[in-house]
Structure 1
Amino acid sequence: MTKKTRLGKTDIYVNPIGLGTNAVGGHNIFPNLDDETGKEIVRTALDHGINFLDTAFYYGPERSEEIIGEVVKEFGRRDEVVIATKGAHKFVDGKVVLDNSPDFLRESVEGSLKRLKTDYIDLYYIHFPDETTPKDEAVGELKKLKDEGKIRAIGVSNFSLEQLKEANKDGYVDVIQSEYNLFKRQAEKDLLPYTAENGISFIPYFPLASGLLSGKYSKDAKFNDSRAQNPLFQGEAFARNLEKVEQLRPIAEAKNAEIAHVVLAWYLTVDSIDAIIPGAKKPEQVLDNLKTLDVQLTKEEIEKISRIFQ
């Protein structure tokens, strides 16, 4: 039985290993996705005790939510599943525009409820900040939806520290999702101290830095997707980054684990990080992510990993 962890100050308890589902129905994000495989990924997660599913209107768009709605309905035990989804994107004349206005957020929540085939969403995030809406007004609308029982917890995603403070003016923000990994540690300087102080749960995305922290790449690896433009994957920086990752191999081998498991386990030792949501493109990867829970890091190992990636 997996020990469940509480998300911040909410009454929501999750397996610390969740499932990020941008590769489930996210046809606008990844080429050649197969929806049947997507369903199998979600089924595998639910059947093996992963109860925290993270999706968004933008993944698909809409398709990821639809697939999760189908599989959770088929699973039958809605109360055992924690569904997180996000909204802020809308299409105007074929272009994607961000909107955090109260009216649009309410409309977005209603749309997500239909696609997810449920009458409540456990955690609803504002996916990206827009340029104009006061953040406390946006969150105020989510608080009304929470009082109406349509959502259980309020999240924001991709907010700067200033935007988070404005959003949390009345203390309503429960969770923030932001980019954080061993190569990108800016959050330790700004967001994480604030979340720790305010009982807000921090969910990192890109925890494996697009696979760079998995320990599976060699120096001659070539990339023809978004990684080709990512500075972490270019030239000398790429070679130096791989050397850092290799320094984790002895720790992983001593624990009979993979480097990715060690990295994911390290995040769970960070104050405010209650859960992580690695993605998967195949059902086997879901099971592999769960092996993270078998990795116990000592205080010395935690400090050593931090030093390697200083």
Structure 2
Amino acid sequence: MADVRIGKSRVYASTLGLGANAVGGHNLFPGLDDETGKEIVRMALRSGITLLDTAYAYGNGRSEELIGEVLQEDEFDRSRVIIATKAAHDPENPGTKNNSPEFLEKSVEDALRRLQTEYIDIFYIHFPDEATPKNEAVAALHRLKEAGKIRAIGISNFDLAQVKEANQDGYVDVVEDQFSLIHREAETELLPYLRENRISFVPYFPLASGLLTGKYSKEMTFDENDLRSKKADFKGVRFQTIIQKVDQMKEIAQRYDATVAQLVLAWYLKNPDITAVIPGAKKPEQVQANAQAIDIRLSNEDYDIIDKLFS
């Protein structure tokens, strides 16, 4: 699996990563099993995936703990794994975000302990807060980078103005934000800025909560207790339109002997504005299937067809 440089840092990660919110993310998904979560991480590493993307918010540190436990196993070499984690949710003030230098410094130390490692490859400010100047928060991470505690500086869920404020000193290496074939707002202004400033881009929700996997039909409806029923993507004409477009991709996927999900991941991997893509998984088999996307050599013609279909 090919590696790609993260911003201007010395970190090189696999272009296909693992989004680990379902590894220990008991507060996000009911009924998760920790041993299954650890097996998901093992499967990723065995499949050549080196980028593991986690956060304190995934299980209030439990995801980090499980990844740390796996990396203590003799089978795996910590030096060949790229750990990305995030912090902003303040456990002492539930429901609030904190970007203060003191909070970020403590968050890094706490994450190092949970991950059982001496350094974190990529550390993100998970969400901006309302009080801390963005460049001061990033400057705190820069000091931690100089101290060897982290190797690359990231920000997540920042709008363009906030990204520019955070990057006043040129310290930001990578931005993580929502982006998919059906959520492409970043193409207008954010991605051009990132290109110009040599900042990597890692999209989350690349499969759009399963909408881009081909598993839904236009006839499906969702109970009012289902979280999907509250999301605009799963309602009315928008839902019908998305499914119609996904159905049109099935013929292309068949030509590559691939699933629709693998085809979508291959489109991201070919997109020059995307540094790495981090699909999540609730089962080890899903990780194994996602990893096969790396072998798809999507033609320029098919890339353009998919691009225009969802433009």
Q: Secondary structure at the match of 1:214?
A: coil
Instruction: In structure 2, give the amino acid aligned to 1:66.
Output: E
Q: Which residue number corresponds to residue 269 of structure 2? A: 268
Instruction: In structure 2, give the amino acid aligned to 1:232.
Output: D
1:28 lines up with 2:32 in the alignment = no
Distance in 2 (alpha carbons) for counterparts of 1:73 and 1:229 = 40
Q: CA deviation at 1:306?
A: 1.3
Q: CA deviation at 1:92?
A: 3.8
> Does the CA contact (< 8 Å) of 1:155 and 1:175 recur in 2?
yes
Q: Kindly report which structure 2 residues correspond to 1:217-256, keeping only aligned pairs within 5 A, or say none.
A: 217-223=216-222, 224-256=225-257
1:87 lines up with 2:87 in the alignment = yes
Q: Secondary structure at the match of 1:199?
A: coil
Q: CA deviation at 1:111?
A: 0.5
> Does the CA contact (< 8 Å) of 2:6 and 2:152 recur in 1?
no
> Does the CA contact (< 8 Å) of 2:122 and 2:151 recur in 1?
yes
Q: Which residue number corresponds to residue 307 of structure 1? A: 308
1:40 lines up with 2:22 in the alignment = no
Distance in 1 (alpha carbons) for counterparts of 2:237 and 2:166 = 40
Q: Secondary structure at the match of 1:154?
A: strand
Instruction: In structure 2, give the amino acid aligned to 1:206.
Output: F
Root-mean-square deviation (CA, aligned residues, Å) is 1.2
1:207 lines up with 2:206 in the alignment = yes
Q: Kindly report which structure 2 residues correspond to 1:70-149, keeping only aligned pairs within 5 A, or say none.
A: 70-74=69-73, 75-92=75-92, 95-149=94-148
> Does the CA contact (< 8 Å) of 1:200 and 1:272 recur in 2?
no
Q: CA deviation at 1:12?
A: 1.5
Identical-pair percentage: 56
Q: CA deviation at 1:76?
A: 4.2
Q: Kindly report which structure 2 residues correspond to 1:146-157, keeping only aligned pairs within 5 A, or say none.
A: 146-157=145-156
Q: Deviations over 1:17-71 (max 9, x none)?
A: 1000000000000000000100111111112211110000010011000000100
Q: Deviations over 1:276-305 (max 9, x none)?
A: 100010000010001111111222211111
Runs of 4+ that moved beyond 6 A: none
TM-score, normalization: structure 1?
A: 0.97
Distance in 2 (alpha carbons) for counterparts of 1:23 and 1:226 = 16
Query: Which stretch shows the higher mean deviation, 250-259 or 233-242?
Result: 233-242
Which consecutive unaligned segments of at least 5 residues does structure 2 have? none
Q: Secondary structure at the match of 1:183?
A: coil
Q: Which residue number corresponds to residue 296 of structure 2? A: 295
Q: Deviations over 1:209-240 (max 9, x none)?
A: 10000011112323353211111111222111
Q: Which residue number corresponds to residue 177 of structure 1? A: 176
Q: Secondary structure at the match of 1:123?
A: strand
Query: Which stretch shows the higher mean deviation, 68-77 or 284-293?
Result: 68-77
Q: Deviations over 1:103-145 (max 9, x none)?
A: 1000100000000000100000000000110000000000000
Which consecutive unaligned segments of at least 5 residues does structure 1 have? none
Q: Deviations over 1:177-214 (max 9, x none)?
A: 00000111000012111111111110000001100000
Q: Secondary structure at the match of 1:165?
A: helix
